[in-house]
A and B are shown apart, each in its own frame.
Chain A
């Protein structure tokens, strides 16, 4: 067990599986009391059990980030159970909707667009930050509070068929900067982890190059460690930043040359 997050209370949206689960487990292993959230209670309770078996403190609360009342009540319940909220990790994403709505932008219905925007940006970041704000400000004034938003390479590059998700993720990155500026006076930091290609299977996939990667495909712990650093007081001077954890994908000019040569 580490102590980087000792005394913190962290709420992680979308933490019943994948990257969110690893974030919740890592923050708990560093001493935070963690609220695991998601739509599926049995999965969430399993994550809580794993955290407790490892010596950590966690509780599951059912959360649907597309429902404003759900977001508000989960935050209030977190504060009721743990006496406050210091750390908000906005990780949820409407992955099923995104995966089943891959089409050119002009073919999107407004309903499809709205679902992706709410699940990624409006509910996941705007509502969560809005209702967490007074609690984070209280913690920030007392010592330190932070928001970590999970964004994606889709925020900075265009991917065919993913227009709504890309726009929403770019919005997440932008909101981070607004939250950082507005939070400065009350001790709330806000940062983004911009996530590249990550596979949710456990274990290191090994170091290899190819496919435009400089290192390897990421795993959920890569992202959890990045969030852990930004959420901890070690990053007290870091706010409004975007930490790119993508194995060098987005800065690899050679990937373009290689693709041209292959073509």
Chain B
């Protein structure tokens, strides 16, 4: 339903001024810089 709601907004006339846009619905996955740091930390920890 998270995606259905996003599509519903974009498909409706409420989004009449929105075109060519990319609405990222990923729970913040793609903007989470900490995920990279955590992965690096996990990597260096396992290397020790």
Q: A234-B9, A248-B20, A251-B20 are in contact. Are A229 and B14 (CB under 8 A)?
A: yes
Q: Is the CB of B31 within 8 A of A177?
A: yes
Q: Interface centre among B8, B18, B20, B24, by most A CB within 10 Å?
A: B18
A214 to B30 Cα, complex, angstroms: 28
Contacts of A235 in B (CB 8 A): 2, 5-6, 25
CB of B46 closer than 8 Å to a CB of A: no
Interface membership of chain A positions 170-198, coded 1 if the CB is closer than 8 angstroms to chain B and 0 otherwise? 00000001001100100001000000101
Q: Are B14 and A237 in contact (CB under 8 A)?
A: no
Q: Size band of the B side of the interface?
A: 20 to 34
Residues in A whose Cβ lies below 8 Å from that of B28? 180-181, 184, 189, 239-240
Min CB gap B46→A, angstroms: 24
Count A-side interface residues using an 8 Å CB cutoff.
37
Known: A237-B25, A238-B25, A241-B23. A181 touches B34 (CB 8 A): yes
Contact in complex: A180, B21 (CB < 8 Å)? no
> CB-CB < 8 A to A218: which residues of B?
17
- Inter-subunit contact A245/B24 (CB<8 Å): no
On whether A226 and B15 interact (CB within 8 A), knowing A235-B6, A244-B21, A248-B20, the answer reads yes
Q: Is the interface of A mostly helix, strand, loop or mixed?
A: mixed
User: Are the CB atoms of B19 and A247 closer together than 8 Å?
Assistant: yes
Residues of chain B whose beta carbon lies under 8 Å from any beta carbon of chain A: 2-3, 5-6, 8-9, 14-28, 30-34
What would 6 A/B residue contacts be, using CB atoms closer than 8 Å? A184-B28, A196-B17, A235-B25, A238-B2, A240-B32, A246-B17
By a beta-carbon cutoff of 8 Å, the part of chain A in contact with chain B is 177, 180-181, 184, 189, 196, 198, 204, 214-216, 218-219, 222-223, 225-226, 228-229, 234-248, 250-252
10 closest cross-chain pairs (CB), A and B: A237-B2, A222-B17, A240-B31, A225-B14, A251-B20, A234-B5, A248-B20, A239-B28, A248-B19, A240-B28
Given contacts A189-B28, A240-B32, 19 further A-B contacts (CB under 8 A): A184-B28, A214-B20, A219-B17, A222-B17, A225-B14, A226-B18, A234-B8, A235-B2, A235-B5, A237-B25, A237-B27, A238-B23, A239-B27, A240-B24, A240-B28, A240-B31, A244-B22, A248-B20, A251-B20
